[in-house]
Amino acid sequence: MQITDLSEKYHQDYFCCLESWSDEMKEAGDHKETWYQKMKDKGLGVKIAIENDEAVGMIQYLPAEHSIIDGHNIYFIICIWVHGYKKKGVGNHQRKGIGKALLQAAEEDVRSRNADGIAAWGLKLPIWMKASWFRKQGYKKVDKNGMALLMFKPFKDDAVPPKWIKQKKKPAKTPGKVDVTVFNNGWCPAQNLIYERAKKAANEIGNEVEFKVFDTSDRYILEEWGISDDLFIDGKKVRNGPPPSYEKIERKIAKRVKRL
Q: Which pairs from 99-103 meet CB under 8 Å and 24+ separation?
A: 99/57, 99/133, 100/137, 101/1, 101/3, 101/49, 102/3, 102/47, 102/49, 102/57, 102/58, 102/59, 103/59, 103/77, 103/137
Spans of all domains in the chain: 2-164, 178-258
CB neighbour class for 122 (10 Å; exposed up to 12, middle 13-18, buried from 19): buried
183 beta partners: 214, 230
Query: Was domain 178-258 assigned CATH 3.40.30.10?
Result: yes
Dist CA 99 CA 83 (whole Å): 10
Mean pLDDT estimate for the chain: 96
99-157 pLDDT per residue, tens = 999 999 999 999 999 999 999 999 988 778 999 999 999 999 999 998 999 999 999 99
Name the residue type at position 44.
L
Rounded Cα–Cα distance for residues 103 and 108 (Å): 9
Q: For 53-170, where are the alpha helices, taking DSSP H only?
A: 98-112, 131-136
pTM over 0.85: yes
Given this structure, which CATH class describes domain 2-164?
alpha beta
Give Cβ neighbours of residue 138 (< 8 Å, ≥ 6 apart).
153
**What does R_g of the chain's alpha carbons equal in angstroms?**
19
Instruction: Tell which residue, 83, 41, 76, 39, has the closest CA to residue 58.
Output: 83
For 213-254, the pLDDT digits (tens) are: 999 999 999 999 999 999 999 999 998 888 999 999 999 999
